[in-house]
A and B are shown apart, each in its own frame.
Chain A
Amino acid sequence: MTGQGRDPAFLAVRDLTKRFGGLTAVSDATFDVREGSITGLIGPNGAGKTTLFAMIAGFEQPSAGLVLLDGEEITGRKPHDLAKLGLARTFQIVQPFAGLSVRENIAVGAFLRLAKRRDALALAEEVGQRLGLGPQLDKPAAALTVAGRKRLEVARALATRPRILLLDEVLAGLNPSELRDFLPVLQDIRAGGVTILMIEHVMQAVMSLCEYVHVISGGRIIASGEAAEVVGNPAVIEAYLGHGAAQRLAGHA
């Protein structure tokens, strides 16, 4: 922690580009995530959200551009180095350590900052309880429901004691009651001082959780701003519903 208070660009992404051969998956993406915020990254399927995440978290090398965390350049660093710097991510397709118990899964994250097994298991227990996994702690991770696995993804990442958490569609596939239970958990994490950047399709969650939203379409950031103002943006409506949709909707109104 730098103790400088609120840096407007805790995570700064500058002109980040990823080309796979002739295909440009992400093109000159530039946006900021403020410290202590919950920031959303939305966009239609295939827009490049997950590729953008993968580059920020070190899983893909960017073709061009910069990523800065708290003013320090972190472009292209290895995932485990970034985890040590306090950047943790979850996976859209959940990746539990299937052969391990829920507690042991979370402990792997806890071991990043704790050398002793006793301490790591204690932190795993604490984080597991906080994420509502208390009754499942000794079950094999493979036995969890989809909602449970999503919680486990977040719990493991949180056990690394991150400064910023990148959540890739952790709410996808949850039913309404699971969703209702999960939103306060994310707010609680933010209240604990962790900045959150989340890819999300569930607009209800985006609207209620995120202060800022960046919209990506066709590999480009097409809109940025507060959630309410972004969803009314004609370019965003067209990205989701097709060319001319904004006009037609306005005509009907």
Chain B
Amino acid sequence: MTIREALPILGFLVVAVLVSLFVTSNVVLNFLVFTLILAIAAQGWNLLGGYGGQYSFGHAAFFGMGAYVSAILQQRFGVNAYPAVAFGMVAAALLGYAIGAMVFRAGLRGSYFALVTLAFAEVLRILANAIEITGGAAGLLISLNLGAGNLQFANRSSFLILAAVLLALAMLMTLAVEKSRIGAQLVAVRENEAAAAALGVDILAVKLRAISLSAGLTGAAGALYAQYFLYIDSNIAFGTWISVEALLAPIIGGAGTVFGPLIGALILQGLSEGTKMLIGKIPGVDLIIFGALLILVVRFPLHRIPGVIAARWRGKGAP
């Protein structure tokens, strides 16, 4: 990774800071914070799914683990928000490693992998709804205690900067992976496992590292979500909605690219809000739009567009 390669990410950060300084509408700020949190979750999915070709349908498991561990540590054990969020990330990464160790060792791929990850997320959702420490069906409130020391902000623009910085870090990490040995090996695994193994790639080790990183990132998004809304329940934290958002955003915005998840999250949330404004609050109408969009993207692979542009640009740039 070079400074030049990282420049677009710094550009994103500058834009985000400018927006936070000049936009005052709470509706817009709220929309942007939510979109950036989704983009972080989606960036996690992108590492494993976009680069590694392992399509998880259960990233809610990691999102919820990050959210619940962080919230429980703060609320039940009085831990400060910063270490609590960090522990949430680590817990999600460990969960990712554990699920990966079981699922990848068993050699599950493709739709089988997707189904098993969905099952893990659903089991966690039901568990979180049933046991006491998570607050059960009533959910879990994080006590309002405003102040940067508690990672709680009265104004949304501060939170927007926080989310933007975290997303920028997630993108930098993704870029670093993309430009490193592990990134090349991960893409090789996505393209052809037998050929990768023949070239000395330890398939299982590569997948385990990818799912741990991926889960940690999505867990960070979960912890951030809890910190922003100060409330989670099992359907928010482990619900299928976040699994769907985390995979749709990169697929629509460009799977296996650094900016894909952000672009996809902006498109998805923009469409979702737009339809709500136009059609009114019919429950699930945004999901209908998502479904239609997904069909279109699968039929006409929009996600290749960034690659096509990059290839054309490379073609012109090269002598």
Binding site for B on A (CB under 8 A): 57, 59, 78-80, 83-84, 88-91, 95-100, 104, 107-109, 111-112, 114-117, 120, 138, 140, 156-157, 159-160
Min C-beta distance of B192 to chain A, whole Å: 5
Selected contact of B179 from candidates A84, A117, A138, CB within 8 Å? A117
Given contacts A104-B184, A117-B181, A138-B314, contact A80 B201 (CB under 8 A): yes
A51 vs B318: C-alpha distance in the bound complex, in angstroms? 43
Return the chain B residue nearest A107 by Cβ: B184
User: For A95, what are the chain B residues with a Cβ–Cβ distance below 8 Å?
Assistant: 192, 194-195, 198
Report whether A97 and B187 are in contact in the complex, using a CB–CB cutoff of 8 Å.
yes
Report whether B200 and A100 are in contact in the complex, using a CB–CB cutoff of 8 Å.
no
Min C-beta distance of A128 to chain B, whole Å: 15
Which 3 A-B pairs rank lowest in CB-CB distance, beginning with the nearest?
A83-B200, A97-B191, A112-B200
User: For B194, what are the chain A residues with a Cβ–Cβ distance below 8 Å?
Assistant: 59, 91, 95
Is residue B197 contacting chain A, with contact meaning CB distance below 8 A? Answer: yes
A97 vs B201: C-alpha distance in the bound complex, in angstroms? 13
Segment 57-81 of B: residues with Cβ below 8 Å from A? none
Selected contact of B184 from candidates A89, A99, A108, CB within 8 Å? A108
Known: A59-B194, A115-B181; 10 extra A-B contacts, CB below 8 A, are: A80-B200, A80-B202, A89-B198, A99-B191, A100-B188, A109-B199, A112-B201, A117-B180, A120-B181, A138-B314
Return the chain A residue nearest B206 by Cβ: A80
User: For A83, what are the chain B residues with a Cβ–Cβ distance below 8 Å?
Assistant: 197-200
Report whether B191 and A88 are in contact in the complex, using a CB–CB cutoff of 8 Å.
no
Is residue B16 contacting chain A, with contact meaning CB distance below 8 A? Answer: no
User: For A157, what are the chain B residues with a Cβ–Cβ distance below 8 Å?
Assistant: 198-199
Q: List 29 A-B contacts (CB under 8 A).
A: A79-B197, A80-B201, A80-B203, A83-B199, A84-B200, A88-B199, A91-B194, A91-B195, A91-B198, A95-B194, A95-B198, A97-B187, A98-B191, A99-B187, A100-B191, A104-B187, A108-B184, A108-B187, A108-B199, A111-B181, A111-B184, A112-B199, A114-B181, A115-B181, A120-B181, A138-B315, A138-B318, A156-B195, A156-B199
Is residue B244 contacting chain A, with contact meaning CB distance below 8 A? Answer: no
A157 vs B194: C-alpha distance in the bound complex, in angstroms? 13
User: For A140, what are the chain B residues with a Cβ–Cβ distance below 8 Å?
Assistant: 311
Report whether A120 and B184 are in contact in the complex, using a CB–CB cutoff of 8 Å.
yes
